[in-house]
Structure 1
Amino acid sequence: MARNHSSHKFGFGNFSHTQGKVGAGAGRTPRDRARRELAQNFLVDQHAVDLIMTAAEPVGTVLEPGAGEGAITGALAERGARVIAYEIDPLLAAKLTARTRDHAGIRVVRGDFLRARPPGEPFAVVGNIPFSATAGIVDWCLRAPNLTSATLVTQWEYARRRTGDFGRWSLVTVSSWPWFTWELVGRIDRGSFRPVPSVDSAVLRIRRRPGPLVEHQEAFTELVELGFTGIGGTVRASLRTRYRGVDAALAVAGVAPDTVVAFVHPDQWITLYEALMP
């Protein structure tokens, strides 16, 4: 693959089209409205980009949701990745296309990443994604059969919830745990973006396991979803509505009978599954 580092540098200056207008007339121009509607906050911090690249270890085909003006796009390409950059904003997509048209390792797609068809070969996803689209993009990644990893810039609180940093676990994380690992790699100060968002961000790393920890995905998901319904207030009460031997399974997994579902570790869910399945 052709690479041209000298003619395709992606500077880390002010990437926002609206920054020159921020002030008395903030939010009044079409670009301001587009930025707000699309939740556009552009990275302007080289150290943050380097953190993302270190976590992502980009190789092969990489899809980038919300490419913006190309801070991450350029960094991925400079490390040898074949980048397919998705940008829904037509003006940003046109500008990024013009800037990268001579780079063989970058293809810009004007459109919604969530409507993209996953590649038929192994690929990764790396991106500074819009906060408002986080749930949809994470779900897309988890459903893509050939995804190897997703390295995403998300809200700090979102990453903490998904990785158990509060000591609690979410349905999304638990139900995908036998197939994916979740890691909070680092924190990015809100001042690393323009416009400056109201909260800090995190680098969230989701990686497919070499092999699944359970055999039947549908059965495991059904068990976990029942537990998260909250019927009866505890995981014991919820599971006893459908499964036999719940008390014995909880004992094997080291889960107290009165445990609220969010405090059951994903590894304990796997033990419960193994104990309850015939």
Structure 2
Amino acid sequence: MARPTRASRALSQNFLADPATADRLARLTVPHPRRDTLLVEVGAGQGALTASLAPRCRELLAYEIDPRLVPGLRARFDTAPHVRVIGGDFLAARPPRTPFSVAGNVPFSRTADVVDWCLRAPALTDATLLTQLEYARKRTGDYGSWTLLTIRSWPRHEWRFLGRIARTRFRPVPGVDAGVVRIERRRTPLIAPDAYGSWSRLVELGFSGVGGSLHASLRRAHPGRRVDAAFRAARLDPRTLVGEASPGQWLRLHEVLAAG
């Protein structure tokens, strides 16, 4: 029997070592197995999640950047012709042109880049990712506050926190627990395509930090009376800090301020 491959610190590897957790993540990725589902896996590692995803899709493209792991993955799935193990960096891959889903146990150090890749992929329908717990909670508003990335992408993408995964489910054991982030592209965006420019400008202005509050930041580009009206419509106190405004309240602010 071949010795298990040691995790690489340089690649921020923590292999998923619990079959039950892999099955749970696969069910969250594809709740109902479908013959037409195209899945792309980020960082197949030693194949724990790959094995749980494979029965739930038509085709699985499993990316693995570590060349030491690729031969073992290919040997493990050589009897599953719909599973294609691709040796290389997921971030360098061109997104499929047909609708597809992403799943993966994401290296903590590369989470931001993986998420950015997903948000930019035109045909992506959803992404279910194991990330550092703090990242998962922060991006999904689970701490009671919201980040620039989440608000900016909200009209096109919904972010959800689907639970905590104990760090003991990984090998080597990382220093913190993981969380499951679900990002779903909306079938119908919440604002019209021609409004994305004004949306992005509003959100960037609000998060600029100038003035010490969201209200003060927005007054830099909009009349005070209109900002007051927008805050009333969104049921926001003028002293509200930028991270405290929910996505729904941002949409109301944009509705009022863009009209002016």
Classify the TM-score, shorter chain.
over 0.9
Q: Which residue of 1 aligns with 2:199?
A: 220
Q: How many Å apart are 1:105 and its aligned residue?
A: 1.2
Cα distance in 1 for partners of 2:58, 2:24 equals: 16
Cα distance between partner residues in 2 of 1:170 and 1:91: 37
Structure-2 residue corresponding to 1:44: 17
For 1:83, the equivalent position in structure 2 comes to 60
Q: 3-state SS of the aligned residue for 2:62?
A: strand
Aligned equivalent of 2:232: 251
Report how far residue 208 of structure 1 moved: 1.2
- Distance apart, 1:120 and its partner CA: 0.5
Q: Which range moved further: 99-108 or 138-147?
A: 99-108
Q: 1:220 & 1:170 partners in 2: Cα distance?
A: 15
Given candidates 207, 213, 237, the residue that maps to 1:234 is 213
Aligned to 2:248: 267
Structure 1 gap segments, 5+ residues each: 1-14, 19-31
> Which secondary structure state, in structure 1, belongs to the residue aligned with residue 131 of structure 2?
strand
What is residue 29 of structure 1 aligned with on the other side?
Answer: none
* RMSD after superposition: 1.5
Displacement of 1:219 in angstroms is: 1.8
Q: Give 4+ residue runs of structure 1 displaced > 3 Å after superposition.
A: none
Cα deviations by residue, 1:10-51 (Å, 9 ceiling, x for unpaired): xxxxx9523xxxxxxxxxxxxx6xx10001111111221122
Task: For 1:118 and 1:230, locate their aligned partners in 2 and report how far apart those are by CA, in whole Å.
Answer: 35
Determine helix, strand or coil for the equivalent of 1:232: coil
* TM score, norm. by length of structure 1: 0.86
What is the Cα deviation at residue 243 of structure 1?
A: 2.0
Q: How far apart are 1:101 and its partner, in Å?
A: 2.6
Residue 277 of structure 1 is matched in structure 2 by: 258
Q: TM-score, normalised by structure 2?
A: 0.92
Other-structure match for 1:190: 167
Q: Are 1:100 and 2:77 counterparts?
A: yes
Corresponding residue for residue 22 of structure 1: none
By how many angstroms is 1:266 displaced? 0.8
Alignment identity in percent? Answer: 50
1:69-98 CA-to-partner distances (Å, cap 9, x unmatched) read: 111111111223411011110111222122
Q: Which runs of 5+ in 2 are unaligned?
A: none
Aligned residue pair count: 250
CA deviations 1:82-128 (Å, max 9, x no partner) are 11011110111222122223311111111111111111110000000
| Partner Cα separation in structure 1 for residue 86 and residue 28 of structure 2 | 24
- Residue identity in the other structure for 2:232: A
Look up the SS of the partner of 1:36 in the other structure.
Answer: coil
Q: Establish whether residue 146 from structure 1 lines up as the match of residue 123 from structure 2.
A: yes
Q: Would you say the 8 A contact 1:16–1:195 is kept in 2?
A: no
